[in-house]
Amino acid sequence: MRVLGVDPGTVATGWGVVELAGPRLQRIAGGVIRLRGPLGQRLAHLHDAIGHLLATHAPTCVSLETPFVGENVQSAFRLGEARGAILVAAARAGVAVHEYSPAEIKVAVVGSGRAGKQQMQTMVAKLLMWSGVLATDEADALGAAICHLHTQRFVAQVGVDLPPRSRRPRADRRAWERTVVAVSADSARPVGPALRARRGRA
C-alpha cells in the first residue's frame, strides 16, 4: 500500500509518500509546496501540485490532517480552504481521502497526542529509517501517511472496519489511540526468530 500524506496550508503544504513493503515503512518521496501570490492563485497552484503528485506517485489513497480550531479562527479558515483544494484534486484523480486529527497522527507516530514538532521529526525519521533532513511540514505529512498505514494494519489484524472518526465516542477514541500506540511500537521493533515463532503459534 502506498499513501500520500498531506499537511495542508495556504503558504506551505507538506507532502510525503510512504509505502508499506512487508513489515517496513519506506519513504518514497516528500517535500514542501511553497505558495505565493493572491489566495486564489495559491489555491490553484496547490490543486495543480497535488494533482501532479497523485499522477506521478499513484498512491492508493491520501491521508489528510483535519483542521484544528484553536485561538486563531482565521488560520482555521485558511486551512479549510487549502484542504478544499486538496480534496478536489483527489476527487478528480479518483483517489480516496482518509482524514485524521493532529492528535491521532501524533499518537500513531510518537505515542502522545501532545508531541511537539521536534518529536515528530525525530520519530518519523526513525520509523522510516531516514537519515536525511526533514522539514517540519514534510515530517507532519509523512506522519499522516504513517498514521493511515498503522490504522490499516490494525484493521487487518482485528478483521473489522473502524467507524469514521467523527462518529467514534470519546471513550472509544481513547481506546483506539492506545491500540494505535501499541501497533506503532510493534511495527518499529525488530522481530527476532523467537518472537516470530511465538506469533506463529498464536
Q: What does the buried/exposed string (b/e) look like for 100-133 if buried means 16 or more CB atoms within 10 Å of the residue's CB?
A: bbbbbbbbbbbbebebeeebbbbbbbebbebeee
Q: How far is CA 165 from CA 126, 131, 174, in A?
A: 27, 33, 11
**7 noted as active-site residue:** yes
Is 3.30.420.10 the CATH number for 2-201?
yes
Looking up cell 500500500, which residue turns up? Answer: 1
> In terms of pLDDT, which residue wins out, 85 or 181?
85
- Contact call for residues 109 and 25 (beta carbons, < 8 A): no
Predicted local distance difference test score (pLDDT) of residue 66: 84
- Which comes out higher in pLDDT, residue 10 or 165? 10
Which among 65, 99, 104, 138 is annotated as catalytic?
65
- Rounded CA separation 165/91 (Å): 20
Q: For residue range 76-120, list pLDDT tens digits in order.
A: 788 899 999 999 999 999 999 999 988 899 988 988 777 788 899
Q: Which three cell numbers stand for residue 16?
A: 510525503
Residue 137 has pLDDT above 50, yes or no: yes
**Which residue in 104, 137, 138, 140 is the catalytic one?**
137
Q: Is the pLDDT of residue 183 over 60?
A: no
Residue 66: strand, helix, or coil: coil
Pairing of strands 24-34, 12-21: antiparallel
- pLDDT band of residue 130 (cuts 50, 70, 90) is very high
